[in-house]
């Protein structure tokens, strides 16, 4: 019996960074960004936000939709390239924030394909009976590794989170196809801050703890791999490409999505798009797009969805999902927004965290008997 999506949720920070804002930071302009990427604005997490905290808000919504209590969750997976800490995992911080006292928690690092990888993994746990209920969160604060002095990358990325709840059902995740090619890892990476080049004054001075990318090569790889893995996942699902009602692609760039759709012979009317409003939110982009499309009635029960993603690794993945969850009576009201520039300036000069506490609070004392 497959893993069924029984709840989903989305959370984005209120701070909006527009193309006009970026014109103040780097040598770029709205027309170039719009034509080359389709992106008009992206969100930036505030000082009091983080990957786990955005994930918490998305997860709480997803659990509410599912009508499931946090103590029923057996497995929490967070797909992210920007965990709150290198150690422990963002999934453990999310557990702490959700007040969850049982179950397993782990992160999945697969760049922008992280959500598809995590969905494929968690659905195996549910399908096999190893977990009855799984929470899969894609959450990112890419603003924290984005170099706002590099026009080749800073125009692309944004922050946000999406979450789904999985349970065993009649219909759900039908099939998936995952792939990776580590030989192309240099094309998109954060060079320092890991064990090979630990952070020190030199790595920081040389700005090597920021994400770097060879955009054109990544672009070519994305279109080829997303189209091929989509076709493989569709074949494994026992369906034909024509049977797919809606494609939810990773929201990297409008041109990548259009080129992939052309290869799949899918009209753009059947492709979910929100890259204009959020930019590339990496592992969060598919669950954010899915949750919004479902709230707005673009995703409906009875549809067959194709999810497809590509990113750092290089790693890619696609999944075919039978949608069963009834739409909400009405979409959630839009939250008020605020300008992100004060936050970005604080990120650039490091003043954003003046006076902030770097450690999460210890919520409850460990009982003596448990030691």
Ligand X SMILES: CC(C)(COP(=O)(O)OP(=O)(O)OC[C@H]1O[C@@H](n2cnc3c(N)ncnc32)[C@H](O)[C@@H]1OP(=O)(O)O)[C@@H](O)C(=O)NCCC(=O)NCCS
Which 260-299 positions form the footprint of ligand X (CB under 6 A)? 280
CB count, 10 Å around CB of 73?
25
Which 50-79 positions form the footprint of ligand X (CB under 6 A)? none
Question: Are 344 and 46 a contacting pair, CB within 8 Å?
Answer: no
User: Would you say 92 or 188 has its CB closer to ligand X?
Assistant: 188
User: Would you say 61 or 80 has its CB closer to ligand X?
Assistant: 80
Q: What is the DSSP string of 69-134?
A: -GGG--EEEEE-SS-SSSSS-HHHHHHHHHT--SSEEEEE--GGGHHHHHHHHHHHHHHHTS-SEE
Which 86-145 positions form the footprint of ligand X (CB under 6 A)? 112
Cα distance between residue 61 and residue 10, in whole Å: 7
Which of 210, 294, 310, 316 is the binder for ligand X (CB under 6 A)?
A: 310
Which of 32, 124, 208, 345 is the binder for ligand X (CB under 6 A)?
A: 32
Query: Binding to ligand X by residue 37, rule CB under 6 A?
Result: yes
Q: Smallest gap, in angstroms, from Cβ of residue 14 to ligand X?
A: 24
Structure tokens at 186: 């240099």
Residue in 19, 92, 250, 253 annotated catalytic: 250
Q: Which residue is nearest to ligand X (CB)?
A: 215
Secondary structure (3-state) at 174: strand
Q: Which helix (H) or strand (E) holds 167?
A: strand 159-168
CB count, 10 Å around CB of 328?
12
x/- letters, 314..333, toward ligand X (CB under 6 A): --------------------
Structure tokens at 90: 């963002």
Which 224-253 positions form the footprint of ligand X (CB under 6 A)? 252-253
Distance in angstroms between the alpha carbons of the first and the last residue of the chain: 39
Q: Smallest gap, in angstroms, from Cβ of residue 148 to ligand X?
A: 12
- Do the strands 3-11 and 315-322 form a parallel or antiparallel pair, or are they unpaired? unpaired
Cα distance between residue 47 and residue 45, in whole Å: 7
Cα distance between residue 286 and residue 309, in whole Å: 8
User: Would you say 244 or 252 has its CB closer to ligand X?
Assistant: 252
User: Would you say 94 or 178 has its CB closer to ligand X?
Assistant: 178
Best CA proximity match to 50, nearest among 17, 19, 80, 18? 80
Residue in 112, 146, 154, 253 annotated catalytic: 112
Query: Binding to ligand X by residue 6, rule CB under 6 A?
Result: no
Q: Smallest gap, in angstroms, from Cβ of residue 174 to ligand X?
A: 24
Q: Candidates 32-40, 66-74, 269-277, 339-347 — which segment interacts with ligand X by CB under 6 A?
A: 32-40
Note if 250 is an active site residue. Answer: yes
Residue whose entry in the numeric block shows the structure tokens 């782990």: 106
Residues 6+ apart with CB under 8 A from 231: 241, 264
Total number of residues shown for the chain: 371
Note if 92 is an active site residue. Answer: no
User: Would you say 23 or 235 has its CB closer to ligand X?
Assistant: 23
Q: What is the DSSP string of 2-14?
A: -EEEEEEEEE--S
Which of 2, 88, 152, 342 is the binder for ligand X (CB under 6 A)?
A: 152
Query: Binding to ligand X by residue 197, rule CB under 6 A?
Result: no
Q: Smallest gap, in angstroms, from Cβ of residue 212 to ligand X?
A: 11
Query: Binding to ligand X by residue 36, rule CB under 6 A?
Result: yes
Query: Binding to ligand X by residue 18, rule CB under 6 A?
Result: no
Residues forming the site for ligand X (CB under 6 A): 28, 32-33, 36-37, 112, 151-152, 155-156, 213, 215-216, 218-219, 222, 252-253, 256, 280, 310-311
Residues classed as catalytic? 112, 250, 280
């Amino acid at each position: 019996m497959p893993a069924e999506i029984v709840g989903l949720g989305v959370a984005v920070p209120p701070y909006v960074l527009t193309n006009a804002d970026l014109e103040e930071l780097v040598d770029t302009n709205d027309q170039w960004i719009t034509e080359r990427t389709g992106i008009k604005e992206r969100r930036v997490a505030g000082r009091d936000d983080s990957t786990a905290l955005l994930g918490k808000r998305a997860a709480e919504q997803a659990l509410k939709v599912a009508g499931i209590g946090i103590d029923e969750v057996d497995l929490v997976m967070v797909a992210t390239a920007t965990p709150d800490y290198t150690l422990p995992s963002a999934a453990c911080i999310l557990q702490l924030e959700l007040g969850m006292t049982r179950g397993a928690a782990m992160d999945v690092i697969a760049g922008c394909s992280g959500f598809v990888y995590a969905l494929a993994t968690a659905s195996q746990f549910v399908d096999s009976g190893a977990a009855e209920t799984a929470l899969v969160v894609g959450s990112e604060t890419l603003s924290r590794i984005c170099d706002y002095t590099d026009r080749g990358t800073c125009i692309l990325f944004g922050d946000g989170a999406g979450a789904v709840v999985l349970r065993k059902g009649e219909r759900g995740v039908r099939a998936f196809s995952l792939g990776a090619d580590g030989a192309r890892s240099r094309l998109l990476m954060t060079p320092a801050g890991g064990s090979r080049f630990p952070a020190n004054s030199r790595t920081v001075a040389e700005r090597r703890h920021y994400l770097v990318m060879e955009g054109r090569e990544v672009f070519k790889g994305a279109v080829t791999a997303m189209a091929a893995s989509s076709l493989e996942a569709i074949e494994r699902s026992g369906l034909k490409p024509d049977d797919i009602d809606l494609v939810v692609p990773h929201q990297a760039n409008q041109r990548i999505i259009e080129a992939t759709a052309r290869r799949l012979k899918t009209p753009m009317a059947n492709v979910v798009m929100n890259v204009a409003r959020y930019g590339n939110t990496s592992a969060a982009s598919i669950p954010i797009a899915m949750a919004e499309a479902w709230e707005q009635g673009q995703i409906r029960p009875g549809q067959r969805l194709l999810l497809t993603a590509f990113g750092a690794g290089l790693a890619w993945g696609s999944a075919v999902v039978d949608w069963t969850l009834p739409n909400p009576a009405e979409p959630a009201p839009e939250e008020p927004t605020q300008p992100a520039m004060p936050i970005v300036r604080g990120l650039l000069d490091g003043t954003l965290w003046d006076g902030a506490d770097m450690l999460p609070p210890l919520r409850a004392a460990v009982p003596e008997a448990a030691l």
